[in-house]
Amino acid sequence: MTFKRSPNWKKPAFKKKNTQKPRPAPKDRKVIIFNKPFDVLSQFTDDQHRQTLADFISVKDVYAAGRLDRDSEGLLILTNDGVLQARLTQPESKSPKTYWVQVEGAPTEDDLDKLRQGVELKDGMTLPAKVEIIPEPNVWERNPPVRFRAAIPTTWISITITEGRNRQVRRMTANIGFPTLRLIRYSMGDWTIKDVAHGTWKEVSL
């Protein structure tokens, strides 16, 4: 038996589920700045017994606004404000993120110009980045230490991007021939780790 659709039949419309967490009242809003150490996951639980945010942060009902890879260090923002999370992480918001990056080798300005113009990665062209060579920053020792090759110099550069692709900064520096040895996120939007000691956190207000 076959059935014919009525000429007036229309495909039902399905509403896209809103996964954004609700915005709390100002008095209930929590915003945490955490200076994440190396080898710590940007989540509160892990079934492999690796270090997580729960080993450092006791505040309940806050979630990371974006990721910071296990092998990266520095600024991680946590909040219970879904609107703020979206503003910091969604590509259309173009919220700037600055990283201090130690690379193997000595890139020239011509090398860095490629990052300033955008480079072709497997998932497409990157947007232009702000890039400059900086003095070695006065930061904590990494544990375990970075492994250097004695015959090859290293260089610290500051990279500011407005995207958030997976391991983007590492892929960008590798693309121009200078692998990332150490990566520290210094700032997101208006927040920085300037006054936040390594492995500690503080609560801030909007």
Let me know if 69 is a catalytic residue: yes
What are the Cα distances from residue 119, in Å, to 111, 174, 202?
11, 11, 36
Dihedral sign (CA 158, 179, 35, 190): positive
160: β partners: 98, 130
Question: What whole-number distance in Å separates Cα of residue 190 and Cα of residue 92?
Answer: 17
DSSP letters, 121-149, are ETTEEPPP-EEEE-PPP--PPPSSPPP--
Choosing from 69, 71, 123, 195, the catalytic residue is 69
Q: Confirm if 170 and 122 have CB atoms less than 8 A apart.
A: no
Smallest Cα–Cα separation from 197: which of 136, 140, 137, 138?
140
Strand partners, 41: none
State whether residue 41 is helix, strand or coil.
coil
Residue 74 and residue 17 in contact, taking contact as beta carbons nearer than 8 Å: no
Separation of alpha carbons 62 and 32, rounded Å: 8
- Give catalytic residue positions: 69
